[in-house]
Amino acid sequence: MNFKIEGGKPLSGTISINSSKNSAVGILCASLLNKSTTTITNVPKIEEVYRILEVLESIGMKATWNNSSLTLTPPKKYLIENLNEESAKKTRSIVMFIGPLIHLFTSFKIPQTGGCKLGSRTVEPHLLALKKLGVTITTKNDHFEVKRKKLHANEIVMYESGDTTTENILMAAAKIQGTTEIRLASANYMVQDVCHFLELFGVVIEGVGTTTLKITGVKEMDMPVSYTLSEDPIEAMLFISIAATTNSRITIKKCPIEFLELELLKLEQMGFKYKILKSYISANGFTKLVDIETFPSTLKALHEKIYARPFPGLNIDNLPFFVPIAARAKGKTLIHDWVYENRALYYLELSKLGVDILLADPHRVFITGPTKFKSAEVICPPALRPAAIILIAMLAAPGSSLLRNVYSINRGYEDLASRLRKLGANIKIAK
C-alpha cells in the first residue's frame, strides 16, 4: 500500500486517540495464562495485532471479533508444534510468549524475533531475568529453545529497564507461588496495563507505576475476564507532532497525560501553543486523559539536546516525533537517539523533503530550521516511528508526495489515512 499526499496546508478538526498497540500485544500474550475466556475491548485493528492473533490461533486459541472487542477462547490443549512461524518472525512481541508458555510446557521452541529494523535489539535481558525463575533459554540461529523444571519466585535486577522484558517477567511470575521482586523495572504505560490485567485474577502487584514491582502469584487463572485497553500516548504524540509541524489548530481527545507531560513541557519551551480543555478518566478506570487543543505557533530550537529516557522520562517511541517539529523550529536542534543503532539513520530520509539534517553519528542528528518543506517520493523505512515522521513531513510539504510501502505505519496505526482526511488532509491510497 502507498499513500499519495497533497500537503502544505494546515489541518483542522477533532481527533480521538485509539488504544495502545503496545498494551494490546502485551494483553494478548497474557491471555495465554487464562484457562477461561478473555475479552479485550477497544482493540486496535492493526498489523501487529493481526500477527499476534495469527500465532495464537495457530496453537489453538479461538479469536472472535465483535466490533472493536475481541474474545479469546483457549483450547483444551495448546499445540505448540503448530505455531505459525511466518507470522511470529514478523513481530518482536513473540518473545513475550515465553513468560506465559512456561506455564503450559516444560520445553518448546519459538522463532527469533522480528518487528522494526532498529539495529541490535538484544533479548539478553529476557534470558537473564527468566533464568532467575528457573527457565533455561538457548539461542539458536533462527529460534530459541526454552526449557524449565520447577519454577520459583526470586529477586530480579533488570539488565535493562525494558518494557517487553518487564512484561515477560510479570507474566512468568503471575503463576509462580511466592513473591517475585523486579528491580529497575519499566514503569511504562503498557507495563501498567499488564499489571492491571493480571490483578483481575488475584495476582497481587505492589509498586505499579514505579521501578520496583513485587508480584505475588496465584496457582491458577481460570475465570472469564474483560479488560479495556488504555489509550495510546504515542499516537497522541503523533497528532501533536502533526499539529506542530503543519502549524494547525486541532483538538486531540483522550490523550494519556501522565505519559506526555515532559514532551509537552519541552514543546512549550519551543514556543508550541496548546490548551488542555478538560481532564477525565479512561473507560478502564485508571488512565488519566485530557483533551488538548493546539494552535498555530512560531517555534524555536531548544538549546539543550532532546533525548529519551525510560518513564517518567521522554518516551523512547515519542522521540522521533520531535524531528519534524525541530525542522519547523528556528535554529539548530540536537536529537540524541541513544537507544537504537539504526533509527537515527532513517531520519535522514527527511532530507528528501527539504529538511537540513546532519548525521553526527549513528545516534545523533542536528536539524537546522525553519525548513521550507518540499514534496518527494520516499519508500517507508522498515520501522514504525521513522515511517510516521516522513508522513508528517509530507503533510507539511506543498505539492504532491508519494510514500511507498506503508506496512510499517499500518503495524501501529489503524486506518490512519481516513482519520487524517477527517482533519482535512488530502491523502489517498495509491498504487
Structural domains in the chain plus CATH codes: 2-18+231-430 (3.65.10.10), 21-228 (3.65.10.10)
pLDDT per residue, tens digit, the chain (431 aa), is 999 999 999 999 999 999 999 999 999 999 999 999 999 999 999 999 999 999 999 999 999 999 999 999 999 999 999 999 999 988 888 999 999 999 999 999 999 875 444 444 468 899 999 999 999 998 888 889 999 999 999 999 999 999 999 999 999 999 999 999 999 999 999 999 999 999 999 999 999 999 999 999 999 999 999 999 999 999 999 999 999 999 999 999 999 999 999 999 999 999 999 999 999 999 999 999 999 999 999 999 999 999 999 999 999 999 999 999 999 999 999 999 998 878 999 999 999 999 999 999 999 999 999 999 999 999 999 999 999 999 999 999 999 999 999 999 998 999 999 999 999 999 999 87
Q: Work out the number of other CB atoms within 10 angstroms of the CB of residue 40.
A: 25
Q: In 278-357, where does DSSP find H-type helix?
A: 322-328, 343-347
Strand ranges for 176-221 from DSSP E: 179-183, 204-206, 212-216
Mutual orientation of helices 163-173 and 124-131 as an angle, nearest 10°? Answer: 20
- Are β-strands 179-183 and 155-157 bridged in parallel, bridged antiparallel, or unpaired? parallel
Look up the pTM and report it: 0.94
Q: CA 393 to CA 397: how far, in whole Å?
A: 6
Q: CA 74 to CA 121: how far, in whole Å?
A: 31
Which grid coordinates belong to 410? 499500518
- Are β-strands 12-16 and 249-256 bridged in parallel, bridged antiparallel, or unpaired? parallel
Q: CA 25 to CA 348: how far, in whole Å?
A: 30
Element housing 100 (H / E): helix 98-101
Cα radius of gyration rounded to whole Å, the chain: 21
CB 255 within 8 A of CB 231: yes
Q: In 103-255, where does DSSP find H-type helix?
A: 124-131, 163-173, 189-199, 233-246
Q: CA 402 to CA 426: how far, in whole Å?
A: 12
Q: CA 134 to CA 33: how far, in whole Å?
A: 18
